Amino acid sequence: MNFNLSGNRVNPLFSNNLPPAPHVMSSKPVNNCAMNASFFDKHRIRLIQAPMAGSQNHRLAAAVFFAGGMGSIPAAMLTAEQLQSELSAFEDAIASEKENVKATQWDEFLPVNVNFFCHTPPPVQNEREAAWRQKLAPLYLAHGIDPKSVGSGPGRAPFSEESLKLVGQFKPAVVSFHFGLPKAQWVQQIKDWGVQIWSSATTVQEAQWLEQQGVDAIIAQGLEAGGHRGMFLTEDLSTQLGSLSLLPQLVKAVSLPIIAAGGISSPAAVSAAKALGASAVQVGTAFLTSHEATTSALHRQALMSSSAQHTALTNLFSGRPARGIVNKFMRDFGPLNAQAPSFPLATAAVAPLRVAAEAKGLSDFSPLWSGQNASDCEALPAADIAHKLLQGWA
Ligand SMILES: Cc1cc2nc3c(=O)[nH]c(=O)nc-3n(C[C@H](O)[C@H](O)[C@H](O)COP(=O)(O)O)c2cc1C
């Protein structure tokens, strides 16, 4: 896919007095001072489009990059072959701008954040899975699903040797992790390649742990955030903090750049994060209704309706707490249920119910991931959303 940069130059980024991001400018030499500045200062990256597995691909990442932010490609629900083709497609998307990209110090790095989960897969739990299916049996019956046809399997895969090979091959500028970090040897290899490593923290302890492991930046994921909680040192949900409390505490507790995430969907919220010491913001929910996201029609509808005012953390769709709009499944069985199989094994049991309900136009069994503030969601090109958010940093 070719992106026409001269087309981009007439967009609001270049007509509202915002400093244009250097990676979409033509050949400006980078001075020594900038070379020594942090990644965020050097590349003037202030907006990161949050990786959102299942809801986006390279198209959204490229659109946000061209709009002056950094895009992300989520790998958690992709096979190695699928990730390879996503990375190739992103590479193609920026190919027409390669000279400019190089001239602004991306060097050999692909200007994108590739995101991985790094959970430890749980041991086989046939009995627990069977008991959960038994509990869901009346639902299968009601939707004409043969319980014997319900599959099993993880649905989401952690970072692996194959992932590492792809990182070495494509050299993304950033690799980010959710649920801690993979083994130290792999972290070291990624660092040796000069790739930035970021990971999510939901508490001061997690941020300090990540700093000790040598990450380059920490994503402060506030309780408001949509999707899975990145928590990894505890399963106690009472430890989780809202963005306004978490961000300043992390800024104080560690000496790394902090990326604020969770509930940020307007220029004012971006300004607040900046004022509280963030080096950049990471925004998910506000991009879910962008033209380039792969969000389903039912999910988009829910995000732009009053039902998005009520979200909750639920483990019903994957086995791990994640924030989504409350629907029938969450109301009837949760939102948190101790009997649900461990992450990511809960995914398979609900999958056929989701398919059956969606075929009837119902989102009763769909994971409607959303942060607590979907009120700024608009059906717009991602570039428009990015430009608006970036006004908050100016
Ligand atoms: C639909 C959706 C999917 C997500 N998937 C991922 C993911 O694959 N990896 C990840 O690190 N974070 C994921 N997140 C969490 C985001 O990285 C980020 O923490 C969150 O979107 C920020 O809060 P906000 O949604 O209020 O903007 C997801 C969030 C959403 C809404």
pLDDT single digits (tens) 206-232: 999 999 999 999 999 999 999 999 999
β-sheet bridge partners, residue 175: 114, 197
**Helix H or strand E encompassing 173:** strand 172-178
Does the pLDDT value for residue 280 go beyond 80?
Answer: yes
**Helix H or strand E encompassing 130:** helix 126-142
Atom number in ligand 1 closest to CA 50: 17
CA-to-CA distance for 172 and 159, rounded, in angstroms? 15
Distance 206 CA to ligand 1 centre (A): 18
Describe the strand order of the beta sheet including 322-325 as a list of residue ranges. Answer: 227-228, 322-325, 311-314
- Residue 246 is predicted with a pLDDT of 98
Q: What percent of the chain has pLDDT over 90?
A: 82
Task: Encode pLDDT of 38-64 as tens digits.
Answer: 899 999 999 999 999 999 999 999 999
- 254 CB contacts (<8 Å, ≥6 apart)? 207, 208, 210, 211, 218
In this structure, which residue's CA is closest to atom 17 in ligand 1? 50
pLDDT band at 104 (very low <50, low <70, confident <90, very high): low
**Long-range CB pairs of 247-253, under 8 A, 24+ apart, other chains included:** 247/220, 247/222, 247/273, 247/276, 247/277, 247/278, 248/276, 248/277, 249/204, 250/201, 250/204, 250/207, 250/218, 250/220, 251/276, 251/277, 251/278, 253/204, 253/207, 253/208
- 379 CB contacts (<8 Å, ≥6 apart)? 289, 290, 291, 300, 304
Distance 226 CA to ligand 1 centre (A): 5
Which of 139-153, 154-168, 261-275 has maximum average pLDDT? Answer: 261-275
Distance 126 CA to ligand 1 centre (A): 30
**Which is more confidently placed, 236 or 17?**
236
Q: What percent of the chain has pLDDT over 70?
A: 89
| pLDDT, mean over the chain | 90
In this structure, which residue's CA is closest to atom 8 in ligand 1? 53
Which residue from 228, 258, 296, 372 has its CB within 8 A of the most atoms of ligand 1, so it is best to mutate? 228
Q: Which two tokens stand for residue 195?
A: 């790739």
**Which is more confidently placed, 19 or 248?**
248
Average the pLDDT over 161-177 and give the result.
Answer: 98
pLDDT band at 21 (very low <50, low <70, confident <90, very high): low
Task: Encode pLDDT of 230-248 as tens digits.
Answer: 999 999 999 999 999 999 9
Which residue matches tokens 């895969």?
157
Per the rule left: phi > 0, alpha: psi between -120 and 50, beta: everything else, 17 is: left
Distance 51 CA to ligand 1 centre (A): 6
Task: Encode pLDDT of 329-370 as tens digits.
Answer: 999 999 999 999 999 999 999 999 999 999 999 999 999 999
Distance 27 CA to ligand 1 centre (A): 34
pLDDT band at 155 (very low <50, low <70, confident <90, very high): confident
Atom number in ligand 1 closest to CA 369: 1
CA-to-CA distance for 144 and 134, rounded, in angstroms? 15
Which residue from 48, 52, 113 has its CB within 8 A of the most atoms of ligand 1, so it is best to mutate? 52
CB atoms under 10 Å from CB of 108, counted, come to: 10
Average the pLDDT over 298-307 and give the result.
Answer: 98
Average the pLDDT over 185-209 and give the result.
Answer: 98
- Residue 154 is predicted with a pLDDT of 77
pLDDT band at 18 (very low <50, low <70, confident <90, very high): very low
Distance 179 CA to ligand 1 centre (A): 12
Under 8 Å between Cβ of 177 and 118: yes
Average the pLDDT over 146-150 and give the result.
Answer: 89
In three-state secondary structure terms, 171 is coil
Task: Encode pLDDT of 73-86 as tens digits.
Answer: 999 999 999 999 99
Under 8 Å between Cβ of 327 and 365: yes
Q: Which two tokens stand for residue 324?
A: 């989504």
Does the pLDDT value for residue 13 go beyond 60?
Answer: no
Report DSSP state, residue 277: T
Does the pLDDT value for residue 35 go beyond 70?
Answer: no
Does the pLDDT value for residue 310 go beyond 70?
Answer: yes
- Residue 100 is predicted with a pLDDT of 64
Lowest mean pLDDT among 117-121, 274-278, 279-283, 305-309: 117-121
Atom number in ligand 1 closest to CA 178: 11
Does the pLDDT value for residue 389 go beyond 90?
Answer: yes
Under 8 Å between Cβ of 215 and 197: yes
Atom number in ligand 1 closest to CA 282: 22
Dihedral sign (CA 15, 19, 22, 27): positive
Which residue matches tokens 């994640």?
322
- Residue 107 is predicted with a pLDDT of 82
Give me the phi and psi of 140, to 5 degrees please: -60, -45
Which residue matches tokens 């029938």?
328
CA neighbor of 273 nearest in space, from 248, 302, 250, 253? 248
Distance 138 CA to ligand 1 centre (A): 32
Distance 221 CA to ligand 1 centre (A): 9
Average the pLDDT over 116-128 and give the result.
Answer: 92
In this structure, which residue's CA is closest to atom 7 in ligand 1? 52
- Residue 148 is predicted with a pLDDT of 87
CB atoms under 10 Å from CB of 279, counted, come to: 20
In this structure, which residue's CA is closest to atom 29 in ligand 1? 227
Lowest mean pLDDT among 32-36, 180-184, 324-328: 32-36
In this structure, which residue's CA is closest to atom 31 in ligand 1? 226
**Which is more confidently placed, 108 or 8?**
108
Atom number in ligand 1 closest to CA 370: 31
Does the pLDDT value for residue 290 go beyond 90?
Answer: yes
Query: pTM of the entire structure?
Result: 0.91
Q: Which two tokens stand for residue 99?
A: 């000279």
Atom number in ligand 1 closest to CA 177: 11
Distance 374 CA to ligand 1 centre (A): 13
Give me the phi and psi of 286, to 5 degrees please: -65, -20
Domains in the chain and their CATH numbers? 5-121+158-304+377-391 (3.20.20.70), 125-156+311-373 (no CATH)
- Contact residues of ligand 1, CB 6 A cut-off: 50-53, 55, 74, 76, 115, 178, 200, 221, 224-228, 261-264, 282-285, 288, 369, 371
- 256 CB contacts (<8 Å, ≥6 apart)? 207, 210, 211, 215, 216, 217, 218
- Residue 37 is predicted with a pLDDT of 57
Atom number in ligand 1 closest to CA 263: 26
β-sheet bridge partners, residue 178: 117
CA-to-CA distance for 367 and 312, rounded, in angstroms? 11
Average the pLDDT over 314-323 and give the result.
Answer: 97
CA-to-CA distance for 139 and 132, rounded, in angstroms? 12
Dihedral sign (CA 358, 364, 369, 374): positive
